[in-house]
Amino acid sequence: MNSIEKFVSDAASFIWGPPLLILLLGGGLFFLVYSRFLPFQYFFHAINVLRGKYDDPDDPGQINHFQALSGALAATIGMGNISGVALAIAAGGPGAMFWMWVSAFLGMATKFFTCTLSVMYRGKDSEGELRGGPMYVISEGLGQAWKPLAIFFSIAGFFGSTPVFQTNQMIAVMKDVVLIPAGFESSTELDFTLGVIIAVLVALVILGGIKRIGNVAAKLVPSMVVLYVVSVVAILVMNASDILPSFAFIIQDAFTAKAALGGAFGAIVVEGAKRAAFSNEAGIGTAPMMHGAAKTKEPVREGLVAMLGPAIDTLVICTMTGLVILITGVWNAGDDNGIALTAKAFDSSLPTIGPYILVTCVVIFAITTIFGLAFYGRQCLSFLIGAKYGKLFNYWYILLILVGSVSSLDLVVNIVFVGYGLMAFPTMISTLALSNKVIEKAKTYFSNYEQQTIKKN
C-alpha cells in the first residue's frame, strides 16, 4: 500500500508542475485580458439570469439556470472549502490563501469561457439527449480530428470524478466529533459501516439522474451555504479585532513564504493554485458538464451564471474558512488532517455547539458534492461507451464510496489531484483554441442586451 501511495503522490506532484500551472493561471489571465473584463461588467445581469428572469421552460436542456449553478456548486462547495483550505494553510502557510484568491479571480474568467462553450457546442449522446462538457466542445467545436483529446478528457474524468475524498473526510468528522466522544471505538469496521450508510443515501439520489440531482442540489445548497456562513460570521464577530491582521498576514506570507515550506515561494503558489482548482474546479472541465445541461438558447447567459461559481465558492466560502483557522491559531497546531483543524477552530470559538454545527455543514457539503461528481463521471463514461452503458458508472461510484471510507487521506487527496490535473489539459487547450468564438458570441449578446435595455428605458 505504501508503494501505491508513493506512486500516486509522485504522479500528482509531476502533473501539477509548471506546465499545468502556467496553463491554468496563464490561461485565466489570457481570458481576463482577452475579454477586456467584459463579463465582469455584467455581474448584476448574471444575478438576474440566476434569479430566473430569463428562464424559458421551452428552451433546450434539462435544468434551469439556478439548478445548473446549484448543481455545479454542489460539486464544488464541499470538502475543498472546509478541509481543503485547512490543508492548504497547514502545508503552504497562510500565504496559500492569497494565491487561492488570485486563482479564483482568474477562474471566474475561465468559467465564463468554458461554460459558454459548453452550451455553444452541445452534442447528443447515444440516446439522443442534449449534453454539454469539454468532450462535446472538443468534438463538436474543433472537429472529429480532435476526438482523441475528448476521449482523453473522458477517461481522466471517469477516474477524477471520485467520492473518495468527501467520504473519507465526512467519516472522519463524524467519528471525531460525534461517535468517539459518545463511546464508539475507532475501527475499520466502523468506517465501513458509515460508508455503507452514505452509499445507500447517495444511491437514492444519483440513480434518479440529472433532474433529481438538480432538484436536490437546488434545495440543499442554499441552506448549507447560509448555515455555514452564519456560523463562520459568528466566529469572526467574536474575534473581530484579529480579522485585519489575518488579512495582512496572508498577504505578507504570500510573498515571503516564511510561515511554512521552508520559505519556498513557488511551493506556496502551487499549493494555493491546487487547492483553488480543487475548490472551484475552474479550468478542470467538470462544471461545464453541469452548465451544459441548462435550459437556454443563449450560451453567454450560462457563462455569466457559471462565472458566479468561483466568487461564491472560493472568494467567499474559502476565505471565511481560512480566516477562522487563522484567527483561532489552530493552523500551526501540527495536525495534517484538514477537517480536524477546522473542527478545532470551531470548537475554540463556539465550545460544545461549534463542532456539531461543523458536522452538520460537512455532511451536507460532502453529500451534495458526491451527488454532483456522480453526474460528471457518468457523463464521461457515457461519452466513451454510450449512454445505455454509462449508467453503470453509478454502481462503480457507489463502490468507490466504500473504498473511500477505509482509505488513507493522502492517497485519496492525491487520486483527486491526478484526475483533475489530467482533465485540465484538454479543457484549457480546447477553450483557448475556441476563445475567439466566445468573444464573438459575447459581443453580439451584450450589444443586443444593451439595445433592449435602452428600449425599455
Written as one string, the DSSP assignment of 414-447 is HHHHHHHHHHHHHHHHHHHHTHHHHHHHHHHHHH
27: in domain: yes
Tell me how long the chain is.
457
Our measurement of the distance from residue 262's CA atom to the centroid of its chain's CA atoms, rounded to an integer in Å, reads 29
455: in domain: no
The single residue listed with the C-alpha cell 460532502 is: 366
Residues 395 and 1: their CA atoms lie apart, in Å, by 25
How many structural domains does the chain have?
1
229: in domain: yes
CB-CB neighbours of 237 under 10 Å: 10
371: in domain: yes
pLDDT at residue number 96: 79
Distances (CA, A) of 369 to 67, 120, 220, 245: 14, 26, 11, 33
Angle at 126 between CA 125 and CA 130, to 5 degrees: 25
**pLDDT tens sequence for the chain (457 residues):** 577 778 878 888 888 777 888 888 899 999 999 998 888 888 888 888 888 888 888 888 887 888 787 767 766 666 667 767 777 777 777 877 888 888 888 889 999 999 999 999 998 888 888 889 999 999 999 988 999 999 999 999 998 888 887 888 788 878 887 888 888 888 888 989 999 999 988 888 777 766 676 677 667 767 777 888 888 898 889 888 989 998 988 888 877 765 554 445 566 666 667 666 666 677 889 889 988 888 889 999 999 988 888 888 778 888 888 888 888 877 776 555 566 777 788 888 888 788 888 888 878 878 878 877 888 888 999 999 998 888 888 888 999 899 888 877 677 778 778 888 899 999 999 999 999 999 999 999 999 988 887 777 6
The x, y and z cell numbers of residue 175, run together, are 467519528
Q: What are the φ and ψ backbone dihedral angles of 336, each rounded to 5 degrees?
A: -95, 10
CB contact at 8 A, 66 and 219: no
442: in domain: no
Written as one string, the DSSP assignment of 284-322 is TSSHHHHHTTBS-S-HHHHHHHHHHHHIIIIIIIIHHHH
β partners of residue 130: 124
The x, y and z cell numbers of residue 404, run together, are 473511500
172: in domain: yes
Host domain of residue 355: 14-433
Q: Is 294 helix (H, G, I), strand (E, B) or coil?
A: strand
| Burial class, 456, CB count within 10 angstroms (exposed 0-12 / middle 13-18 / buried 19+) | exposed
188: in domain: yes
- Host H or E run for residue 255: helix 243-256
Residues 6+ apart with CB under 8 A from 86: 321, 325, 331, 338, 339, 341, 342
Task: HSE, CB side, 13 Å, CA atoms: give it for residue 102.
Answer: 22
- Host H or E run for residue 68: helix 65-76
CATH of the domain at 325: 1.20.1740.10
Q: Which among 353, 38, 80, 67 is positioned nearest to 213, based on CA atoms?
A: 67
The x, y and z cell numbers of residue 414, run together, are 492525491
- Host H or E run for residue 405: helix 393-405
Residues 448 and 45: their CA atoms lie apart, in Å, by 13
440: in domain: no
β partners of residue 63: 294
